[in-house]
Amino acid sequence: MEREVFVKGRGDLVISGSGSTGGGEYNAVRISGSGRVNGDIKCIDFICSGSSKVEGSIHSEKIVINGSTKVVGDVRSKEVIKVNGSSVFEGNVYHRKFKINGSSRVIGDTTGEHLYLNGIVKMEGDCEVEYAKLDGSFKIEGLLSADKIEVELNGRSYAKEIGGEKITVQKIGSLSGFLDRFLKPLAKELTAEMVEGDAIELEYTKAKVVRGNKVKIGPGCIIDLVEYKEDVSIHADAQVKEKRKV
């Protein structure tokens, strides 16, 4: 994807102390103090190292949040959104890459190519990406959909529905066998109403329905119903109320 070039004469928006300004088109927006923007922003780079609030939308090539940012409108990034601090996006989020190392809340829907989580995220809408790598803690109140989903449990996580071609949920660093049963194996877990995919491998997951072609239910899982087309395996330390070949 081609990157926009800086436009001569368009100028930068820099807030290093405390201030407010209107929206507009800029080459770069840099906020290192406390800034408020009243209106929509279109820029090449949006970088916040302080505290900012945008009473509008952001349309940018790259968005980096090292401090705290709240955006009332939609957020669009052609390259990447990096949240190393905290963010609240009240509208929809569109991206190529969305990397969350801090904490983020998205009230609208999230749509893009790649989602990487090493922190905490709450999404009140749907999340539709091509690839999701989730190593932190998440709450997705709608659908989590991706071709490939990899979850490494590092806390309690929730998604109303999960759908994809290949879905893997693992509890990294857990002890196996006898000791694991006595050292709070459910301290890290995923809860979902529905998990549906082609190839599914789950650990420490609570779900009402798991549906797939090839399904592997690992330790710590509590599943009401497993529906499978080709093959199913269930660990001795898993609880499955009913399994059904369809």
Residue 166's alpha-carbon distances to 40, 85, 202, in angstroms, are 38, 31, 11
Identify the pLDDT of residue 146. 98
Identify the pLDDT of residue 9. 52
Contact 84/101 with Cβ under 8 angstroms?
yes
Query: Average pLDDT of the chain?
Result: 92
**∠ CA 108-192-168 to the nearest 5 degrees?**
100
Identify the pLDDT of residue 142. 97
* For residue 123, pLDDT beyond 60: yes
- Please tell me whether residue 185 adopts helix, strand or coil conformation: helix
Under the banding of pLDDT at 50, 70 and 90, the label for residue 173 is low
- Please tell me whether residue 91 adopts helix, strand or coil conformation: coil
Q: What pLDDT digit, counting tens, does each position of 31-90 carry?
A: 999 999 999 999 999 999 999 999 999 999 999 999 999 999 999 999 999 999 999 999
Residue 116's alpha-carbon distances to 132, 214, 221, in angstroms, are 6, 26, 24
Q: What pLDDT digit, counting tens, does each position of 93-105 carry?
A: 999 999 999 999 9
Tokens representing residue 176 in the block: 């196996």
Residue 188's alpha-carbon distances to 24, 28, 40, 115, 185, in angstroms, are 45, 41, 40, 21, 7
Considering the chain, what percentage of its residues have pLDDT values greater than 90? 86
Q: What pLDDT digit, counting tens, does each position of 137-167 carry?
A: 999 999 999 999 999 998 899 999 999 999 9
* For residue 3, pLDDT beyond 80: no
**In a 10 Å sphere around its CB, with 0-12 CB exposed, 13-18 middle and 19+ buried, how is residue 34 labelled?**
middle
